[in-house]
């Protein structure tokens, strides 16, 4: 175990955690909502430091990040645990393990070993992903410091529920993030995720202000967050508050975990969401989980020419020249294009 960062001792054996926006007040012997931070004798400990439950080499496009060193690999890691309890979670076996099974699995892998593995596989970045990386922050922080010394970038694939305090501390080492903006209504967050909407919106704005490269993903679920009104709210927020250069990934839902009562998202719904995003002024709107769709490709926002053709996570054609459109010379937003 390792003492946690970002908490305060309150007296009477209680502590308050400032890592995520739940800001849990935790009694002695108890854990926070995430299930992986425990108060022992008035000191808050992380129970997952170094306990990697998953390691893989992924295309960075799988995160999904389409404008951050496209075509490179991301060494991806996770521990168990999450500060959300989404009914539609795709990785619930590990994200909800502390909550559902009352146990914490994972074999010890040091930060040094993670960075060495990333170098060995030629990964341009390390992605903290699969579960919510904020809840294993101490581990990601120590890895990220070492990674930067080796010229390796750091990526969060996150629900965006971290506090401003966490982002301020981590900003020098966090290069990019794909943030799930799961819905445009607070009611959805409260009912299906056990969280609130506003902290996610605030995190997104703060990341952009800090110069972190941000891409946004919305899993479009039939009957829950797929109305024109809600999709327009999300598109307008991204365009007006984050900037039209911010990519938006609208992804297809497949029934999973506690949400088998919903059908897969019709592809026509994703087409509609993409049109809403483009009409809101976004330069790059992508359709996810639909291999072969036109909406996987990158087009120049100025002249409309095809710049990057994809199939799933694979790049088939690449026509960006020194960060610019090969045809009209318009600068194409991103990092490492």
pLDDT digits (tens, 9 = 90+) for 87-144: 999 999 999 999 999 999 999 999 999 999 999 999 999 999 999 999 999 999 999 9
Beta pairing, strands 306-311 & 298-299: antiparallel
* Chain segment 279-334, per-residue pLDDT in tens: 999 999 999 999 999 999 999 999 999 999 999 999 999 999 999 999 999 999 99
Question: CA nearest 36: which of 73, 82, 70, 75?
Answer: 82
Q: Would the pLDDT of 210 be above 90?
A: yes
Indicate the average pLDDT of the chain: 97
Beta pairing, strands 153-158 & 73-78: unpaired
Q: How is residue 263 annotated by DSSP?
A: P
Q: Would the pLDDT of 70 be above 90?
A: yes
Q: Across the strands, what pairs with 126? A: 75, 154
Q: Would the pLDDT of 246 be above 90?
A: yes
Ordered by start, the domain boundaries in the chain are: 2-46
CA terminus-to-terminus distance, the chain:
40
**What is the structure's pLDDT at 316?**
97
Mean local confidence (pLDDT), 244-260:
97
Helix, strand, coil percent values for the chain (each to nearest 5): 30, 30, 40
pLDDT-based confidence at residue 231 (cuts at 50, 70, 90): very high
Question: Which H or E run contains 8?
Answer: strand 7-11
CA–CA separation, 141 and 171 (whole Å): 10
Q: Would the pLDDT of 1 be above 90?
A: no
CA–CA separation, 196 and 201 (whole Å): 10
* Chain segment 170-180, per-residue pLDDT in tens: 999 999 999 99
Q: How is residue 136 annotated by DSSP?
A: G
Torsion of CA 335, 177, 208, 269, to 10 degrees: 100
**What is the structure's pLDDT at 44?**
98
Percent of the chain clearing pLDDT 90 (strictly above): 99
Q: Would the pLDDT of 163 be above 90?
A: yes
Question: CA nearest 19: which of 166, 160, 158?
Answer: 166
Residue 156 neighbours by CB under 8 Å, 6+ apart = 127, 128, 129, 133, 134, 140, 174, 176, 177, 178
pTM of the model: 0.97
């Amino acid at each position: 175990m390792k003492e946690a960062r970002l908490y305060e001792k309150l007296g009477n054996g209680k502590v308050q955690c400032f890592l995520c926006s739940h800001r849990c007040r935790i009694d002695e012997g108890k854990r926070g909502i995430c299930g992986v931070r425990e108060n022992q004798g008035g000191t808050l400990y992380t129970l997952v430091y170094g306990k990697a439950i998953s390691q893989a080499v992924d295309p960075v496009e799988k995160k999904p990040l389409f404008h951050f060193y496209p075509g490179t690999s991301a060494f991806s890691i996770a521990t168990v645990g999450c500060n959300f309890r989404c009914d539609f979670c795709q990785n619930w076996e590990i994200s909800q393990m502390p909550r559902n099974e009352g146990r914490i699995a994972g074999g010890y892998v040091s930060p040094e070993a993670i960075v060495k593995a990333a170098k060995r596989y030629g990964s341009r970045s390390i992605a903290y992903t699969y579960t919510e990386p904020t809840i294993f922050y101490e581990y990601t922080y120590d890895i990220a410091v070492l990674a930067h010394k080796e010229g390796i970038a750091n990526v969060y694939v996150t629900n965006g529920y971290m506090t401003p305090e966490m982002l301020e501390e981590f900003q020098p080492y966090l290069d990019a993030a794909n943030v799930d903006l799961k819905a445009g209504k607070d009611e959805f967050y409260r009912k299906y995720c056990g969280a609130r909407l506003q902290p996610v919106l605030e995190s997104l704005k703060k990341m952009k202000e800090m110069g972190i490269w941000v891409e946004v993903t919305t899993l479009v679920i039939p009957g829950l967050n797929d109305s024109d009104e809600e999709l327009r709210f999300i598109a307008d927020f991204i365009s007006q508050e984050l900037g039209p250069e911010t990519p938006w990934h609208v992804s297809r839902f497949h029934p999973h975990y506690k949400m088998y009562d919903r059908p897969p998202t019709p592809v026509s719904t994703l087409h509609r969401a993409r049109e809403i995003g483009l009409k809101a002024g976004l330069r790059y709107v992508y359709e996810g989980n639909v291999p072969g769709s036109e909406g996987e490709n990158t087009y120049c926002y100025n002249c409309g020419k095809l710049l990057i053709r994809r199939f799933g996570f694979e790049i088939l054609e690449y026509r960006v020249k020194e960060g610019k459109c090969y045809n009209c010379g318009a600068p194409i937003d991103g990092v490492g294009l």
